[in-house]
Amino acid sequence: MSAIPREEVATVASVSICRAKVRPAAPVPPAAPLRFLAAIRAARANPITAFAREAYEKPFLKVGRGGRLALVNDPAGIERVLVRNAGAYRKSVLQQRRLRPALGDGLLTAEGETWRATRRIAAPLFSPKLVAGLFDDMRQAAEALCERWAEAGRPAELDLAAEFQRLTYEIVARTVFSGALAADRARVHALMAVYFDTVGRVDLASMYALPNWWPSLAEIRSRRTRRELRAIVAAAVAARLDDTGREAVDLLDRLIHTTDPASGRGLDRQGVVDNVLTFLAAGHETTGNALSWTLYLLGLHPEAAEAARQEIDAVLAGGPIAPERLADLRFTRAVVEEALRLYPPAPFIGRQAVADDLVAGHFIPKGAELLIAPWLVHRHRALWREPDRFRPERFLGAERAAIADGAYLPFGLGPRICIGQRFAMQEILTVLATVLARFRIDLVRPQTVFPLARITLTPAGGLPAHIRPR
């Protein structure tokens, strides 16, 4: 690894000045594991509060009543489960129960040959060339957001979490659907928000895998939501399928017309609907949260915010961000990567063994449930220096090279790694460069911000901030 460039060294030094002053929001782990009923209450309210100190210190741990669930924190064990022996595992029962009713056999939920064929079809849609071709949609949406903020004409208080959820939904709706959802965009966004909130809540039915005819409160609330959501998307897909002379201009067109190179077959109508819903769900909630947490951390660390602004100003040179200049935002990217470490978009990854295995020296029988929690792994005392501190420099130079394989997984790992990670990073950097070039952002009541784990990791109660033109 080559030495860190001089400008990066200067930036790192300035950021280190403020490091000891502020600790980003996180629960204080209880010293001892919670008793059974207390653990259930904590898990229902906010699952990340249920983990005791040992979960941040040990490489492998049996948790839950009777030790039914194996918690894997060991990087080599994580690599074993998600990468080297991924075929011996499937998505967990809880994840399937939560997501399959709305997303069907989309990429997040499909298994076996259905998943492999869908992945082969979808992979070309997220190639470097095609993702780069979506850059203008991302920048235009970010610029429209800035224009709306500028129209306030004075420092305005906004909920950044809500603003970025709307923005990232607008971007994914543009790139996936073009104008097909124009009349229903606001409704689909609202339905997505309701669905993610209800299915993200842990309840007794899900924890004990009660049969589907035993409806939980979350299930009752979500049924109507997902029916309406699927109906709107199915109608848009049907209209597009009927438009046989249309040129491919968005991801939906390409999803319809791309075939599996192994079989020569494409997705049927149901498969298209399932994967469009998957793209909409996974493509905006996680990215919106990543932007919120990044601005939250910059708000807590003004020296880092100033360093990012200086880098952005130097790269933009008074103009808009260009796609070929995103790679020059080295420090800004390190800030994003550190935000994804402290606040991973998906805090939990669940797997069920479909064959016996050996993980981190422990026998895993067929049928066992494993939990890999980026929330815990990214803050593990044995894997990270000052794990609860905001240190962007850990993603620059020699420190970056020293990160163990399996210790950093904001997008997952292995064959089921997030197919849209390139899309997400391009979007995040484009939005940050556009916003920070024009505005200063000051947090309002930062001490009240707290991470809430549902399907994704979101700022509980939003992220109020003052927006001031530079």
The predicted pLDDT at position 242 comes to: 87
Tens digits of residue pLDDT in 136-164: 999 999 999 999 999 977 777 899 999 99
Look at residue 21 in the predicted model and tell me its pLDDT: 58
Q: pLDDT grade, residue 406 (50/70/90)?
A: very high
CB 406 within 8 Å of CB 413? yes
Least confident of 47-51, 220-224, 351-355, 431-435: 220-224
Question: Side chain identity at 412, as an amino acid letter?
Answer: G
- In this structure, the dihedral spanned by the alpha carbons of residues 340, 346, 352 and 353, taken in order and rounded to 10 degrees, is -20
Output DSSP code: residue 263: T
Residue 67, pLDDT score: 63
> ∠ at Cα 189 (125, 342), nearest 5°?
75
146: annotated binding-site residue? no
pLDDT at 114: 97
Q: What is the pLDDT of residue 42?
A: 87
Sign of the CA dihedral with 261 first, then 262, 266, and 270 last = negative
Determine if the pTM surpasses 0.85: yes
pLDDT, tens digit, 9 for 90 and up, residues 289-319: 999 999 999 999 999 999 999 999 999 999 9
CA distance 434 to 84: 39
- The mean pLDDT value for 44-59 works out to 94
**Residues 470 and 438 sit within 8 Å (Cβ to Cβ):** yes
Cα torsion at 422, 424, 425, 426 (round to 10°)? 80
Environment class of residue 132 by beta-carbon count within 10 Å: exposed (0-12), middle (13-18) or buried (19+)?
middle
Q: Is the pLDDT of residue 20 over 80?
A: no
Determine what percent of the chain falls in helix, strand and coil, rounding each to the nearest 5.
55, 10, 35
Q: What is the mean pLDDT of the chain?
A: 89
Print the SS3 string covering 116-174. HHHHHHHHHHHCHHHHHCCHHHHHHHHHHHHHHHHCCCCCEEEEHHHHHHHHHHHHHHH
- pLDDT, greater one: 279 or 223: 279
Query: What are the domain boundaries of the chain?
Result: 6-469
Share of the chain above pLDDT 90, in %: 70
pLDDT at 212: 53
pLDDT score recorded for residue 6: 40
- What CATH topology corresponds to 6-469? Cytochrome p450 (1.10.630)
